[in-house]
Amino acid sequence: MATLYALTGDLLQIQQMIEDGMDLGDTLESVELEIADKLEGYAMVIKNIQSDIDGLKAEEKRLSERRRSLENSVKRMKEAMSSTLELVEDDDKGKKRVKTDKFSFYFIERASAIVEDVNELPINFIKTEIKADSKALTEYLKLGNEVKGATLKVNKSLSIR
């Protein structure tokens, strides 16, 4: 059986022969039947692969939920450890510290800014992002309008039912 690529080439050759005035009725029917069989075969493979993809997505979701559960457990344990370490007396450097054979426990202080009102900040502390409104731009271009810096691209996608 010919590949889909070869069948497409055959069909293009037949189309050219028809355009040149040759009568190829039976030949065209046989190639179209082969193409239909090949497309049907591809569709069945796609459905099988899609089923595998759906199963993998479900497994990803399950693993993601499991990961979040474990991350929350670690967070709760660290909070409990922090609460316990707060009860420890300061060492000679004024730090709360506990050292065991395997681990050292202590707090690290890091400063971070809390923005209470972004409108009150000086401009050099504000980031802005310029982003096109693609949806509105597409609708505007579909109406036949032109916009400098943008063009309308029409995409096709295969539908299998």
46 close to 57: Cβ distance less than 8 angstroms: no
138 close to 145: Cβ distance less than 8 angstroms: no
Look at residue 9 in the predicted model and tell me its pLDDT.
Answer: 66
97 close to 106: Cβ distance less than 8 angstroms: yes
Look at residue 7 in the predicted model and tell me its pLDDT.
Answer: 61
Look at residue 38 in the predicted model and tell me its pLDDT.
Answer: 75
Look at residue 6 in the predicted model and tell me its pLDDT.
Answer: 65
For the segment 56-68, what is each residue's pLDDT rounded down to a tens digit? 999 999 999 999 9
3-class SS of residue 98: strand
For the segment 75-105, what is each residue's pLDDT rounded down to a tens digit? 999 999 999 999 988 888 888 899 999 999 9
Q: How far is CA 149 from CA 113, 132, 138, 141, 152, in A?
A: 38, 11, 13, 12, 11
Hey, what are 87's tokens?
């009860």
**Dist CA 97 CA 85 (whole Å):** 7
Low-confidence stretches of the chain (pLDDT beneath 50): none
- What is the pTM assigned to this prediction? 0.55
55 close to 63: Cβ distance less than 8 angstroms: no
Instruction: Provide the residue count of the chain.
Output: 161
Task: Tell me 90's DSSP state.
Answer: B
Look at residue 57 in the predicted model and tell me its pLDDT.
Answer: 97
